[in-house]
Each structure stands twice: as structure tokens, then as C-alpha cells.
Amino acid sequence: MSKPRSGQKLSAKNIGAGFLMALLALSLLGFGVEGFGGGARSIGSVGGRDISTNEYARALQNELRVLQSQTGQTITMEQARLFGLDQMVLEQLVTTAALDSEADRLGVSAGDETVQREILQISAFQGLGGQFDREAYRFALQNAGLNESEFEDSIREDVARSILQLAVISAARSPDALITPLLNHQAQTRDYSVLTLASDNLETPVGMPGDAELQAFYDANIDNYTLPEGKRIRYAWLTPDMLIDTVEIEESVLRDAYEARASEFRQPERRLVERLVFADMQQAEDAFARLSSGDISFVDLAAERGLSIEDTDMGDVTRAQLGTAGDAVFALTEPGFAGPVETSLGAAVYQMNAILAARETPFEDAAPQLREELVADRARRILSDDLDLFEDLLAGGATVAELATETDMRSGEIDWRRDETSGIAAYESFRSAARELQDGDFPEIRILDDGGLFALELIEDLPPSPRPLDDIRTQVAGDWRRAQIVERLRLQAEDIADALRNGSDFAALELAPERFEGMTRTDFLPDLPRDLVSTAFDMTPDDLRIVDGSDRVYLVQLHDIADPDLLLDDVANLRDALTEQLEQSIAQDLFGYFSSALRQSQPIQFNQQVIDAVHANF
């Protein structure tokens, strides 16, 4: 629950807005819940407050729709209960009832004027003129299974809960003792220098390793050259590309497709045009005279009107698209100005920037592209039509290997591991199926990303396996060289750091580090390691640290630490954001503790049979 800003008034527009919008959304869906639970009108009670069956059904239906919209799938009530949706709704309703009961005890309520103001401001109840519409009000409530008295009581209760809630969280404040260290952490700055040492800085270059050195490095870093665990998988697959040679497309079909896309293959001559519209013809004529004489450019003329050149851009247009200005603009044989012309928008002048010649692609030239697209489409349809055949074979007990034997599907085996992306593993749908594949899984037909079909079965699990050195000798040699370069550069960086600690400086050592000033911990330094900035923020002034890169070493020297300047807009905005975020968190905690205490202090009873009846009606 968010805490309102200081000075925020309790208004009809703000109190209970979320509750009202959710209720209206349900009403407009036309979801009726009358009759849930048979003759029982309550699923339980909290203190002296009943929770009605209709109220529970509406809340459950609303959360179910939200879950379905998030997943994009139809969710059954059984699945929703596995997600804990019913318990979440019950928890919300128990909290609401506990608040209502406490508001009753304290005598907190809302008057008729407040309820009326709430209703009059709800847009769903307003007519075309923006005024309250009695019929719209009646119709929306009827669709929600509510009468006016029930709805108005719900508003009255929601306002009372909001008053109670605001009273609880109004004391939420962000202590400076917490804001200050958070602000310092986020907005403190550092000044530091970074010296980059690369292989060029070595006195002698690093050569290639001998066989013994290479073997020793390989053995010491064997984890880097070990394939992860995987699965040996047998599969059968059939893609549209595999069927292309078997699909024939009649010329008549190609010509029909060509005519259907005539606008793509026959493009008339076009012009790149910009337009300025004036209040009257006299102004347009004066502007055109200035353009023609060279006294002003089209860009500057647009700027005089408070427009950028982008505001005047019409893009590439045909003669027909220009309407009455078409003849004038298309009369130009090279870039220039046209007009003034009276248009539906007023008198206008035009700047033509380029001529795009008419272009027509003959049927003979377009046919190969059309054939390729139509063949691929027909191949996908063939696969879709054959889906039932493949599924029936598997249902009849056929193995993946037999599926390839008895149909056009092709079989294969793959040692699949998480980084494998070759062959059929190039398809994400296959990789996803391979990740989920378990021993004993029954093969089923699945769909590839391009519309192809495949089935797979597990042959055996593959343990982690070191790649043979002979297969990756070049890679290991490169890794050895980089490790040697970094090791030697680190020794060199330590010597430089010792010299600096003993009173020398970079200039005396004839070194030129890169200096960074006013850097925050969120700044990104291109071409430098990601952890270099965090390293600088762990240092004290004049401290020196060495940071290893993949093939470079970086020597960092911290010069200064600066606390945030509260007079800077960015820092002030950050402080406000931290304060608001912390106050909201405190307010949520306060209200959570208050609600929990209320629930524990009041007797809670549920009628499980009625709840089950509501679930059954879904």
C-alpha cells in the first residue's frame, strides 16, 4: 500500500480507485455470479462481518482472468488452486472484512455526499455529454449482479477502509539516518586514474607453449575444457525445406499471387517532398518568391513558422497522393520548389528533394520469389495435414526410428548439451524439448519454429566429459598465452605500484594513465572490466589496486572521494526518489502489521462446503 504524498487530500477520485476500477471491469465483462453456493449467501465470516459467496466468486473470477492474461492460456480452476489463487483471494477478503469490522467498531464511515461524489466521477456511468447517466449506471450494476444499494454500500465501506488505512500509514516517515547512507552509497563520486598494461608493454613477447607446458595447463584448468552433462537423443524430423523439391506450384497460382501483390511489383514514379501550408495565398506567394530568389532556405522558412524540417516531411509520394499539387510537383525535372498551390489544407509551397523513378518487376522476375514463398507455405500446410498421421503412428506404439522408416520423416541422433546449437539443435523448440526430456518419456509430435515437425526419445544420459586436448589444442594454447601475458603484466604492475607508494608518480615513470573524475558507482566505462568501478569504490584515497582483464592488467589509483552535492538537481531528485521509496516500504509494512493484528484479534470462520460449491461452478 503506497503512502500518499505530504499534503495529499482524501478525495473521491483517490479513495478506493483501485477497488472501483476492478469492480467496474468485472461489471463490463457481464459476468453474473448469482446462485453460487446454492442457497448459502456466505462463505464465512470475520468478526461480525460476513464474506458473501458473490463477493468471493467475483474476486476469484477477476484474479483468474488476470492470471490467464499473463500466461496467455486458459487456466482451469484446478490449475488456479495449484497456484494458490483461491487462498490468495481468501486472504484478501479476510483482510477487507477485518478492516470493515474495525471501521465499524471505531465508527468510521462515509456520508451520502461522499458516496454520491464517488459515483458521479466514475466515467463508466457517464453519458456522451460527460454527465451521470442513470441507465448506464443501472446497466453496469445489473451485469455485475449487483443492485444500487449493494454497490453504494460497497463504496461507503471502501471509503471507510481508506480512511482507516490512511490513519495507519500517515506516520510513515523516512529517517535521515537511513536516507543519508543510502544517498551516499548511490551518489558519492570518485576521482581515479587507470593505467592499462597490454602485451605491448612486455619487454619480451610471450611465445607458444611446449607440449609439456600445454598438457600441464590443460590438466590444471580441466574444468574449463569439460563438456557439461547432456543427453544422447534419437529424433525424427521433417521441415518445410525438406519437402520443397516435392511441391509443385502451377503458373496460374503464381500469376494470381503476382496480381494480388501488384502494388509491390508495380510502383509508380514518386517524389521526396516537404510541404509548408500558409494562411492565405498571398503569404504563400511571398514565401515562394523568397525561396525562388534564394533569400531563404526551406529549412529557415519552416523555422520561421516554428516548425522543424521533420514537421514538413511528406516522405515519398505519388502524383495521386499529392492531389491538386501533383501536377506542379511532378512538373519539376530536378530538385527544386513548386507552388504555391491551393490545397484542402490551404495555400502551400513544396520542396522536391529527389525523383524516384517508376519501378515495375515483370512477372518472370518476380516468379522465383513468389514460387519460393508459395512452396514454403504449401509445405507447411502439408506438414500440418500430416500431423494426425504421425501422432496416430506414435499412439499405435511406433518408435521414433520406426516413424522415420514408415513416413517421410528423417531420423538422426545427437549428443545434446546445453550449448549445442547445430543441426536440429538450432531450433529453440527442440532445445526446450531436449531440456525437459526424461527417461521413460513417451515420444510425441512437436512443432519446430519454422512449422516443421519432430519427435524425440532419450537413448542415455551423458555425464560431464573432458574434451580431448588434441581437439582443442589451438584454444588451449591461446588460453595459455593469455594467462602468461596477464601473469607477467601483473608482476610489472606490482613494480609500478611499489614505485608509486615510495613517492614516485606516473610522470616520473613516463607513464600516462587515463584519469576519470566525478564517477559514480553506476557509471559504465567502455573497454574496461566491469568490476573496475566497484573496485575503485572499495578503495581509500591514494590506494592502489590491480585488476586483471582477459589479456590486460589495469592499475587503479584513487585520488579523491566526494560526498553528494545536494544542490545538484540529479542528487536532489535521487534523494526524493529514495525518500519516497522508503516511505512507501515503511507504509506497506505498517499496514501489513496492522492488518495482521486485526486478523489475529477477530474470530475467522469458513464454510468449506460453500467454498467448494463456488469452485465447482467455475
Q: DSSP readout, 105-161? A: HHT----HHHHHHHHHT-GGGB-TTSSB-HHHHHHHHHHTT--HHHHHHHHHHHHHH
Q: How far apart are CA 492 and CA 425, in angstroms?
A: 46
Query: Is residue 533 packed enough to be buried (19+ CB in 10 Å), middle (13-18) or exposed (0-12)?
Result: buried
Q: Are strands 604-606 and 42-46 parallel, antiparallel or unpaired?
A: antiparallel
Question: What end-to-end distance do the CA atoms of the chain give, in Å?
Answer: 30
In sequence order, what are the residues at sequence separation of 6 or more whose Cβ sits closer than 8 angstroms to the Cβ of residue 548?
Answer: 486, 490, 529, 554
CA 19 to chain centre: 27
Nearest residue to 215 via CA among 466, 552, 551: 466
Calculate mean pLDDT across residues 237-257: 80
What CATH class is the domain 17-171+599-616?
Answer: mainly alpha
Element (H, E) at 356: strand 346-356
H/E stretch holding 488 reads helix 473-501
**Residues near 148 by beta carbon (within 8 Å), at least 6 away in sequence:** 137, 138, 141
Share of the chain above pLDDT 70, in %: 93
Reply yes or no: is the peptide bond before residue 603 cis, omega within 30 of 0: no
The rounded mean pLDDT for the chain is 84
Give pLDDT tens digits for 67-85: 888 877 777 888 888 888 8
Question: pLDDT tens, 177-217?
Answer: 888 888 888 888 999 999 999 999 998 999 999 999 999 99
pLDDT number for residue 17: 41
Contact present, 450 and 430 (Cβ < 8 Å)? no
With beta carbons less than 8 A apart as the criterion, state whether 45 and 605 touch: yes
Average pLDDT of 305-330? 86
Are 547 and 488 in contact by the 8 Å Cβ rule? The answer is no
pLDDT digits (tens, 9 = 90+) for 16-74: 344 444 444 333 333 333 444 445 688 888 887 888 888 888 888 888 888 888 877 77
Q: What is the pLDDT of residue 44?
A: 86
Report pLDDT digits (tens) over 395-425: 888 899 888 888 888 889 999 998 888 889 9
**Percent of the chain beyond pLDDT 90?**
25
Distance CA 601, CA 515 (A): 63
List C-alpha distances in Å: 221 to 212, 229, 478: 14, 18, 13
pLDDT of residue 33: 39
The backbone torsions φ and ψ at residue 465, rounded to the nearest 5 degrees and listed phi first, read -140, 125
Of 242-251, 276-285, 453-462, the least confident: 242-251
Is residue 272 within 8 Å of residue 356, measured between CB atoms? Answer: yes
Taking the C-alpha atoms of residue 237 and residue 426, their distance in angstroms, rounded to an integer, is 13
| C-alpha to C-alpha distance for 424 and 430, rounded to whole angstroms | 7
- Per-residue pLDDT at 515 exceeds 90: yes
Task: Count CB atoms within 10 A of the CB of residue 114.
Answer: 19
pLDDT at 32: 36
SS3 content of the chain, % helix, strand, coil (to 5): 50, 20, 30
Give the tens place of pLDDT for each residue, 447-496: 888 788 899 999 999 999 999 999 999 999 999 999 999 999 999 999 99
* Interval 140-168: pLDDT, tens: 787 767 778 878 888 888 888 888 888 88
Helix axes 53-71, 17-29, angle to 10 degrees: 80
Q: Where residue 129 falls among pLDDT bands split at 50, 70, 90?
A: low
CB 60 within 8 A of CB 616: no
- Residue pair 554/195 in contact (Cβ under 8 Å)? The answer is yes
SS (H, E, C) 231-297: EEEEEEEECHHHHHHHCCCCHHHHHHHHHHCHHHHEECCEEEEEEEEECCHHHHHHHHHHHHHCCCC
Provide the grid cell at 268: 509508380
Averaged over 224-238, what is the pLDDT?
Answer: 93
Residue 175: which residues within 8 A CB-CB, separation 6 or more? none
The CATH T-level fold of domain 269-357 is Chitinase A; domain 3 (3.10.50)
Q: How far apart are CA 324 and CA 322, in angstroms?
A: 6
Closest CA to 408 of 387, 423, 429, 433: 387
Q: CB pairs under 8 A, 24+ apart, for 208-211?
A: 208/477, 208/481, 209/477, 209/480, 209/481
Fold for domain 189-220+473-562? Chitinase A; domain 3 (3.10.50)
Residue 497 or residue 120, greater confidence: 497
Give the model's pLDDT for residue 158.
84
